[in-house]
Amino acid sequence: MRRRALLQGLVALLPAAAGASSLLASSRQAFALGGTLPALNQSAPDFDLAGIAPAAGGEAVPTRLNLADFQGKWLVLYFYPRDFTGGCTIEARGFQKDLASFRAANAAVVGVSADDAESHADFCSSEGLAFPLLSDPAGTVSRAYGSWIAPFSQRHTFLIDPSGILRSTWVAVRPSGHSAEVLTSLRELQAS
């Protein structure tokens, strides 16, 4: 009897839930686990973060990068929770594997997490990463991109065109194969 009442209550909620979901779907603002996402085809949120970048000898050196540094290039800005975790390592390895293809397409790859520069340097060294990793310990930039649930950045990726316009967004990314997915989208956008 109790189970039946519970089921009837849930069935009664279905029309209201459908109405709420269609209202959310028609909204101009997109939401994801981590906050409000920046709007597509608008200027990407600016950032200015310290981190590490690979040097010629393979060592990681301190750097500070902002959105203007990528003027005239495509930018793959990907947020991830932690260095050295399983999914984050798979994702970073994927971007590293495809890095030459991104560079050939006039695109830079940059990772962002709450980890400090020392952790990033160790991660780059351990995985042979040849692209910058930036530190966002307070989540300021991650929040601007709707990618923050303290104390971690969420696994979201953003493709920004050479004029600083946000062209594609991926949320709740599955690490395996993600780099190839972004590369395909980049090529399609460049061809259009």
Is 88 catalytic? The answer is: yes
The SS3 call for residue 147 is: coil
Distance CA 40, CA 19 (A): 25
DSSP letters of 38-66?
Answer: PPTTSBPPP-EEEEEEE-TTS-EEEEEEE
CA 131 from chain center: how many Å? Answer: 15
The answer to whether 30 and 147 have CB atoms below 8 angstroms apart is: no
| Backbone angles phi and psi of 99, in degrees to 5 | -60, -45
Beta bridge partners of 30: none
Distance CA 181, CA 107 (A): 14
Catalytic residue among 52, 53, 75, 88: 88
Task: List active site positions.
Answer: 88
